Amino acid sequence: MPAYVVLGTQWGDEGKGRVVDLLAAHSDFVARYAGGDNAGHTIRVGDEVYKLHLVPSGVLHPGKRCAIGGGTVVNPLVLASELRELAERGIDISPERIMLAETAHIITPAHVALDKVNEAQRGDSAIGTTSRGIGPVYTDKAARTGLRAGLMRAPDLFIEKVKQHIEGKNRLLVDVYKTEPIDIDAALPDLHAAAAFLAPYLADVPLLLYQALQADKIVLCEGAQGTLLDIDHGIYPYVTSSSATVGGVITGLGIGPRYIERIIGVAKAFSTRVGGGPFPTELHDALGDRLRGTGANPWDEYGTTTGRPRRCGWLDTLVVRYAARINGLTELVITKLDVLSGFDALQVANSYTCNGAPVDTLPCELETHQDCQPIYQSIPGWQEDIMGVRSFSDLPSNAQSYVDYLEELTGLPVKTITVGPARAQTIER
């Protein structure tokens, strides 16, 4: 009856999608528990590359069931087009294998417009959101004024509710923000069509997951974003609006904590962040450019959802240790170790100086956090290309030492290391 969780230990884009894709081969159900199409999970299968935003990363394994939980927020236009694109590429998207929770909240064009004007108003302290309407939809959810996916069962009634909702938001857009309203007549037909398309996918996801767990099936819970973007545990307000951490699994999918057996933290071998907010180990020099890559490789650090260049820096184990503590991680997966080939020396921060004082646990309050300078430990690098390596003992000894050092600092076993985006580019220990 186990549930396994895969979540991000840093600022998102750790490679969760590809790790879920690996584990999905041995699971029965893959369920997304939080966030919306702000997520971008890239998975390579042979020569094919899939960029998933809402559909769980288990979809690429025939026969596996996939659920989008009630903790997520769903733009019907995005989900419908993502499913259609998958179908065009020969993936089975039948409602027998893909389910959408009736309780997931719906993102409308008004939420997207409000996200953009909110950001514009923040000026220099903009969060750098993905402009997908995430903040405004979770605001409506908490204010109990939101629209839930279950309404799409009756598309005509759904459209009536969406119309009223946009009329209300238009007053806000025009009267308060002095900006253009949403053109309701233009917006509604596509939303109606998307609702009609998605209606057969609506399901009681908590019940289905409970039945699967009772039947000893393995449920893999797929995280989006990362621990430092969590609404409660990230560095507020430079966060997303959902629970990216393990608590989001329980509320977002409606499964009890006693089912969770493994909590797998995905950590990139270095650090990246997209959007605003503090980032103590960020590199503003040629080393940072080198970690980012030029965009020539598909895995170079440019956002899957927005295409923005990601900010890059050295690994910060205060962040990974914080994620281990907040989520109760049972193990780590280290991704993109291959990207560290060719550096003479690698730096790892395991403590900071904050306001002149030494600190070895992550300060999570913005004012303190943004005054932290990393204290680095220098570790010898390796020159060899490791993308073809498949066993730990075949890694250069300095690469082995890097992984061993992370295990020692975090106190967590590193069971899987990835050395390239393909399924086979994986080292199991």
| Of the candidate residues 240, 335, 350, 416, the single one contacting ligand IMO (CB under 6 A) | 240
| Residue 313 in contact with ligand GDP, rule: CB under 6 A | no
Name the residue nearer to ligand GDP (CB basis): 42 or 75. Answer: 42
Q: Which of 32, 41, 61, 165 binds ligand GDP (CB under 6 A)?
A: 41
* Greatest C-alpha distance within the chain: 65
User: Catalytic annotation on 13?
Assistant: yes
Question: Is 41 one of the annotated active-site residues of the chain?
Answer: yes
d(CA 27, CA 271): 29
Tell whether residue 212 is a contact of ligand IMO (CB under 6 A): no
Is residue 274 a contact point for ligand IMO (CB under 6 A)?
A: yes
Q: Does 134 bind ligand IMO (CB under 6 A)?
A: yes
148 binds ligand GDP (CB under 6 A): no
Annotated active-site residue in 21, 41, 61, 115: 41
What is d(CA 95, CA 79) in angstroms, rounded to the nearest whole number? 13
Residue selected from 10, 18, 267, 271 as contacting ligand GDP according to rule CB under 6 A:
18
Q: Which does 169 bind (CB under 5 to 8 A by kind): ligand GDP, Mg ion, ligand IMO, none?
A: none
Cβ-based nearer residue to ligand GDP, 110 or 332 = 332
Closer CB to ligand GDP, 213 or 224, in the complex? 224
321-350 positions binding ligand GDP, by CB under 6 A: 335-336, 338-339
Contacts with Mg ion by CB under 5 A: the residue count is: 3
Asked if 376 contacts 308 with a C-beta cutoff of 8 angstroms, the reply is: no
Residue 147 within binding range of ligand IMO, rule CB under 6 A: no
- Residue 61 sits in the site that holds ligand GDP (CB under 6 A): no
Question: Shortest gap between Cβ of 244 and ligand IMO (angstroms)?
Answer: 8
List residues near Mg ion by CB under 5 A.
13, 40, 304
Q: Which residues are catalytic?
A: 13, 41
List residues near ligand GDP by CB under 6 A.
8, 12-18, 40-42, 44, 298-299, 304, 335-336, 338-339, 418-421
